[in-house]
Amino acid sequence: MNHYYPGKGLKRHLGSPFFTHAIRNGARGFTLVELILVIVILGVIGGMVSVFMRSPIDAYFASARRSALTDLADTTVRRMARDIQRALPNSVNTSTDKNCIEFIPTKTGGRYRTSEIVAGDDKSLRFGAAETTFNMLGNNNDLPADQRIKAAAGEFDLIAVTNLGYGVGDAYTGANTAVLSNVTNGTETQLEFASVNFDVALESPSSRFQVIPSGEKVVAYVCTTDTADNTKNSLYRISSNTLAHLCPVSPSTTLPSVSGAAIIAKNVICSSPFDYSGSDLQRNALVNMRLSLKDSSGTETVTLQHEVHVSNTP
């Protein structure tokens, strides 16, 4: 078969040396040996690069795990700190093993009237005699919505006067508390409750009282075995609608039930995370929290220490 090449006036046969040389030049490629050599060289280079890159990559992932753990621990201790700072003066306690801390939360406070506006009008708070009402200085409606004193629609808050944490001033026994039955707002808010005889020792130096929310009378944070995985520990927040201790006072007493309680943090190391120095201070208390968390794999551990100052001034 002949082919004609325009402009050249040439005809060549396909089997001629001219075409054989052209085809051989166009079909030239890598041999199998060359491909194997390239693969081996690339493998050696990749291995060398991986040796130098492994440490930075491992460090990056380790740093990410530690950062996530630190953020979780920081969020947890700050949440607990905000909660504990609302504690009724002298109401913070820890269990003997220091894996449980409890307190009585407050939603607001105020000053009670110490003298009558008009003789016999029963507007002041009396001590040492049966009392059913007194005036709070200020209008309850002026308080933020979440701090207003309530005594209706199933929400009957409590008042506590001069909580000392012992004797007649121990709110856990109800010796210095009263459940409100009615709140009348006005320039001075009138608070009403069932007849209570407040001991004369309960007169507050600054004429103050605190308000305990009806739905959460005692709150506790407990570090104990996870209810879903008994090989790990978790930090729980539990609450009670009665004025009674939640944390055990002796080592032989078991921790309170955490069934259905909110989990604040998982994979916690329960090693006496709470310490309270309130018994050593007159007006202020110090709660020391030492929280240790592990990641899900157990390879990383982060420990944060946080101090919370609590006012114990009645």
Please give the chain's pLDDT, 314 residues, in tens.
554 445 444 444 545 555 455 555 555 667 888 888 888 888 888 877 777 777 777 777 778 888 888 898 999 999 999 999 999 999 999 998 899 999 999 999 999 999 999 988 899 999 999 999 999 999 999 999 999 999 998 899 999 999 998 889 999 999 999 999 999 999 999 999 999 999 999 999 899 999 999 999 999 999 999 988 888 999 999 999 999 999 987 766 778 889 889 999 999 999 899 999 875 556 788 999 999 998 877 778 889 999 999 988 87
Strand partners, 118: none
Dihedral, CA of residue 130, residue 209, residue 77 and residue 281, to nearest 10: -90
CB atoms within 10 A of CB 260: 8
- Integer Cα distance of 159 and 282 in angstroms: 22
Could you tell me if 160 and 176 are in contact, meaning their C-beta atoms sit under 8 angstroms apart?
yes
Comparing CA positions, the residue from 104, 102, 103, 95 lying closest to residue 272 is 95
Give the per-residue pLDDT at 56.
Answer: 78
Could you tell me if 110 and 185 are in contact, meaning their C-beta atoms sit under 8 angstroms apart?
no
Secondary structure string (H, E, C) spanning 9-47? CEEEECCCHHHHHHHHHHCCCCCHHHHHHHHHHHHHHHH
- Integer Cα distance of 293 and 76 in angstroms: 10
- Integer Cα distance of 247 and 94 in angstroms: 7
- Integer Cα distance of 18 and 147 in angstroms: 101
**How would you classify the pairing of strands 188-197 and 100-103?**
unpaired
Q: Six-digit token pair at 187?
A: 């320039």
| 70, burial (CB in 10 Å: exposed 0-12, middle 13-18, buried 19+) | middle
